[in-house]
Structures are given as structure tokens and as C-alpha cells.
């Protein structure tokens, strides 16, 4: 069965997901946090309370979207197109959520289908909404049924130097740590599988690059205070190779910031970024 555009509007869930302090610590290390970030990488440092990086939302959120309703596609030809998160409260080091989701849109790009899903998670402990996620999957070879191509608006970056600019260097084994947070796709660890995918070596998870970018936003815009971080939306534009240096450029306008991430060669790897904060 090919992609089913009639699945738009289908809902699913609730789905429960729990996590603990160790899960949050492992995620932080997986996106490059270290000895300068002990509030995110340790739970027993003197006078330091463990807190959770906002982009941990991509690990625990997203549940409930009824992917079994969208038809079929070749997973080898699917790439993560965009990712968004919205924090409605600060994520605790230990917790449980109940998520519901829906198929928000299916766009026909001619040579591909784009599937947009949305999910909202409620804290089981408090009964209050904790976070929302939005994801877009680009499925090559699945378009062409004559459907709507979808919106084409783009972020207009200022013709000025960025307000902030931060560079982090990923480790050559970065993907081996990040995969322990859940995404065991061998594209990120097995050289032979990466070769079949058209890459010289395993590539970094897009959501790991997203996490590195989120760390820069949290540091520069929120003073590393997760309670001030509200939302982050961005598009994946080029794969990152473990060991690459990532430079995050940020343009601030009030409580909104535009951002993009480039590698050491100046290639844009995360684009169309918009972040809101307190």
C-alpha cells in the first residue's frame, strides 16, 4: 500500500513513556554536554541540582501519532525533514508522560511525500501539559498523486552579523553515545550500512545535531536555564559526520531568535531555525 493522503487528521494514543535521571544524563552526554555542564551531566554534584536539557523532548515526546494509518514507504529512502518542540513546563529528571498524536498533513512534493505529525504530552504526576512536538518526514519516491505541495514560506535571515555565535566540535564516536538514547539505526554506527546509504562513513543522527544546536540556544539565550526555553523549530539540510565542528549562528529579536548551524566547511546543516524564549 502506498502513502495514504486520507490519513490526515487521524489521531492516536494515549501512549505512556517514562524516563529517569540516568536517561536524561545519557542524553546530555550524547549531545556533547560535559564537565562545564554539571547540572545536566551529573545528579550528585555539591550544590548543583540536576536539570534536563530542553531538547530531551525529542527523546520522550512524539508518541501517539498513528503511523500505521499512513500507508507504506521504503524506510531506506526516508529522511527527517524538520523538527519542532514546545516546552509548556520544565522537564523533570524523572517522570512519566501520556501522549496523544495526530497526522497533521501529508504533502505531495512530486518525487516525494512529506508526512507531518504532531504530538502533545501531559505529565502523569501533575495532569498538566508538559510538551509538544512536531516532526516532518521526507519520504523519497512516494509522491506524485496530485496532492497539495504544501507551504513554501522561508525564514528571512537578517543581512547582519549574528547576535551570538557558538562552535562545538562533535566527537568521532559521538553517534555511538547518542544512539544509546534510543535510535539504533545502523546508518549511524555500521560502516557497511552507511555505504549502502551512499555515505563514506556513518553519519550523525540529525536529532543529535539538533541537540547540539539546542545547547547553544539554551546557553546564549537563556543563560542555561531550561525554564526560560520555550520552543525550537528547524529544518535538516545536510548530514553531519561525527568529528565535524558545528557553528550555531543566532540573530535575536526580542524574545524570538532565528538560527542556523553550519559545519567547518561553511555548509548549512540545520536551517530555517526559529527559537522562542523568556
Task: Choose from 98-107, 151-160, 193-202 the range with maximum mean pLDDT.
Answer: 98-107
**In the predicted structure, residue 2 carries a pLDDT above the cut 90:** no
State residue 122's pLDDT score. 98
pLDDT band at 223 (very low <50, low <70, confident <90, very high): very high
Selected catalytic residue, list 91, 97, 203, 241: 203
Mean pLDDT of the chain: 96
State residue 76's pLDDT score. 75
- Topology of domain 5-140 in CATH is Thiol Ester Dehydrase; Chain A (3.10.129)
pLDDT band at 212 (very low <50, low <70, confident <90, very high): very high
Q: Where are the domains of the chain?
A: 5-140, 164-277
Query: For 11, phi and psi rounded to 5 degrees?
Result: -120, 160
Q: Report percent pLDDT > 70 for the chain.
A: 100
- The 10s digit of each residue's pLDDT in 16-29 is 999 999 999 999 99
- Topology of domain 164-277 in CATH is Thiol Ester Dehydrase; Chain A (3.10.129)
Axis-axis angle for helices 21-30, 206-222 (nearest 10): 100
- The 10s digit of each residue's pLDDT in 40-91 is 999 999 999 999 999 999 999 999 999 999 998 887 788 899 999 999 999 9
Selected catalytic residue, list 183, 197, 225, 243: 183
Selected catalytic residue, list 60, 62, 63, 188: 188
Residue 205 bears catalytic tag: no
Decide whether 5-140 matches 164-277 in CATH topology: yes
Residue 244 bears catalytic tag: no
Residue 188 bears catalytic tag: yes
Residue 9 bears catalytic tag: no
- Tell me the average pLDDT across 132-157: 93
Cβ(268)–Cβ(259) under 8 Å?
no
In the sheet that holds 95-108, the strands lie side by side as: 11-19, 95-108, 112-123, 129-140, 78-87, 229-236, 268-277, 256-262, 245-253, 164-169
Selected catalytic residue, list 206, 211, 214, 273: 206
**In the predicted structure, residue 1 carries a pLDDT above the cut 70:** no
Q: Which residue would you say has higher pLDDT here, 77 or 186?
A: 186
State residue 209's pLDDT score. 98
Amino acid at each position: 500500500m502506498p502513502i495514504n493522503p486520507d490519513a490526515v487528521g487521524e489521531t492516536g494514543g494515549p501512549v505512556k513513556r517514562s524516563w529517569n535521571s540516568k536517561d536524561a544524563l545519557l542524553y546530555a552526554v550524547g549531545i556533547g554536554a560535559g564537565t562545564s555542564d554539571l547540572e545536566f551531566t551529573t545528579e550528585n554534584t555539591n550544590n548543583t541540582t540536576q536539570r534536563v536539557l530542553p531538547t530531551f523532548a525529542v527523546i520522550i515526546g512524539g508518541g501517539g501519532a498513528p503511523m500505521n494509518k499512513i500507508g507504506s514507504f521504503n524506510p531506506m529512502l526516508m529522511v527527517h525533514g524538520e523538527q519542532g518542540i514546545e516546552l509548556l513546563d520544565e522537564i523533570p529528571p524523572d517522570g512519566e508522560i501520556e501522549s496523544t498524536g495526530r497526522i497533521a498533513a501529508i504533502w505531495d512534493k512530486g518525487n516525494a511525500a512529506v508526512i507531518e505529525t504532531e504530538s502533545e504530552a501531559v505529565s502523569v504526576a501533575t495532569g498538566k501539559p508538559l510538551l509538544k512536538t512536531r516532526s516532518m518526514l521526507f519520504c523519497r519516491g512516494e509522491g506524485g498523486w496530485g496532492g497539495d505541495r504544501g507551504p513554501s514560506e522561508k525564514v528571512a535571515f537578517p543581512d547582519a552579523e549574528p547576535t551570538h555565535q557558538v562552535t562545538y566540535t562533535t566527537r568521532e564516536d559521538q553517534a555511538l553515545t547518542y544512539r544509546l538514547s534510543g535510535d539504533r539505526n545502523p546508518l549511524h554506527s555500521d560502516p557497511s550500512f552507511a555505504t549502502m546509504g551512499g555515505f563514506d562513513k556513518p553519519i550523525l543522527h540529525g536529532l543529535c545535531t539538533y541537540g547540539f544546536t539546542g545547547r547553544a540556544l539554551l546557553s546564549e539565550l537563556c543563560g542555561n536555564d531550561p525554564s526560560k526555553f520555550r520552543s525550537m523549530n528547524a529544518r535538516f539540510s545536510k548530514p553531519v559526520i561525527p568529528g565535524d565542528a558545528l557553528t550555531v549562528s543566532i540573530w535575536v529579536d526580542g524574545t524570538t531568535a532565528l538560527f542556523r548551524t553550519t559545519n567547518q566547511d561553511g555548509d548549512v546543516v540545520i536551517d530555517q531555525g526559529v527559537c522562542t524564549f523568556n
